[in-house]
């Protein structure tokens, strides 16, 4: 699950400095741990109450805490996050193909990558995609190439290694995007039986991929998309949803108030960033 994007973390730490950088990493780990603990405790509480452990936060837990509308809101936010993440994947595919091959712009390569992925978006059996899992090994090698190519000890011409990295990243993401959207399709199909009809299902899949592609075209830079996703969707899903679950089941305590304060601070700071330029 840890790919080439992990290389962005050292850059963030370097930009913040030796004091603030590691401190922010520790804060992120603290928030993640507390939010996961809240969800885990809420599931245990429902298991003790009803004698059956909830399957997941999206269906059982959200249903018990927020009702039908709240559950659908959580599912909607989760699906939007996953689709936006695929938009990031198409941006990275376009950037790497643009680096390795001349002749088209980064946006055009992103669109090409989406078209190449389109056939895998229609598979009904996930094992078809799993046959490509060898690309995960390629990306693992690509991470090492990235360090050798851009690390402190770089020496000589690293252009061939750059091509290897680009190929490894593209190969990995061409598989990852269909896997992520496969989960989105399954959730939506379980929620609405109409979506299981063949022509409706095909329309859903094409529309979903088109939305992800539009995100890649309107936000052609990785950092811009990452800023929008992390500020809005991730803050809602990883902080406010666990706090709301705990509030619905057990009430509000100091830990929940602290996470709410941090979440509001993250949203406020994100809104004060310079807005990205949306253009085709």
Among the residue ranges 23-37, 72-86, 263-277, the one predicted with the least confidence is: 263-277
In a domain, 280, yes or no: no
In a domain, 232, yes or no: yes
Looking at the structure of the chain, the number of domains it has is: 1
**pLDDT tens digits, one per residue of 112-165:** 888 887 777 877 777 766 665 554 444 444 444 444 444 444 444 444 556 777
The pLDDT-based confidence of 275 (bands split at 50, 70, 90) is low
| 242 close to 39: Cβ distance less than 8 angstroms | yes
In a domain, 279, yes or no: no
**pLDDT tens digits, one per residue of 20-70:** 888 888 888 898 899 889 888 888 888 888 887 777 776 678 888 888 888
Among the residue ranges 100-104, 179-183, 194-198, 238-242, the one predicted with the least confidence is: 100-104
**What's the rounded mean pLDDT across residues 72-82?**
86
In a domain, 30, yes or no: yes
In a domain, 260, yes or no: yes
Dihedral sign computed on CA atoms, order 179, 185, 190, 196: negative
Q: Could you tell me the residue range of the domain that residue 182 belongs to?
A: 4-271
CB atoms within 10 A of CB 267: 16
Residue 155 has what pLDDT?
46
In a domain, 277, yes or no: no
Cα angle value 4/216/119 (rounded, 5°): 85
In a domain, 262, yes or no: yes
In a domain, 278, yes or no: no
């Amino acid at each position: 699950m840890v790919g080439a994007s992990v290389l962005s973390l050292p850059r963030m730490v370097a930009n913040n400095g030796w004091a603030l950088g590691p401190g922010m990493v520790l804060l992120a780990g603290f928030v993640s741990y507390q939010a996961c603990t809240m969800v885990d405790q809420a599931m245990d509480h429902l298991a003790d109450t009803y004698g059956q452990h909830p399957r997941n936060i999206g269906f059982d837990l959200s249903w018990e805490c927020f009702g039908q509308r709240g559950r659908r809101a959580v599912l909607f936010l989760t699906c939007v996050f996953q689709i936006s993440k695929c938009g990031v994947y198409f941006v990275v595919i376009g950037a790497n193909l643009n680096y390795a091959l001349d002749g088209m712009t980064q946006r055009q390569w992103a669109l090409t990558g989406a078209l190449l992925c389109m056939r895998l978006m229609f598979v009904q059996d996930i094992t078809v995609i799993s046959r490509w899992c060898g690309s995960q090994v390629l990306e693992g090698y690509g991470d090492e190439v990235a360090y050798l190519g851009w690390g402190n000890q770089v020496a000589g011409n690293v252009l061939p290694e750059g091509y290897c990295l680009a190929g490894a990243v593209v190969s990995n993401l061409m598989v990852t995007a269909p896997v992520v959207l496969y989960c989105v399709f399954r959730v939506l199909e379980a929620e609405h039986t109409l979506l299981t009809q063949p022509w409706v299902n095909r329309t859903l899949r094409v529309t979903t991929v088109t939305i992800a592609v539009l995100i890649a075209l309107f936000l052609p830079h990785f950092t811009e998309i990452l800023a929008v996703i992390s500020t809005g969707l991730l803050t809602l899903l990883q902080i406010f949803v666990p706090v709301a679950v705990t509030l619905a089941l057990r009430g509000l305590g100091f830990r929940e108030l602290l996470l709410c304060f941090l979440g509001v601070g993250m949203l406020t700071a994100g809104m004060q960033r310079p807005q990205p330029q949306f253009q085709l």
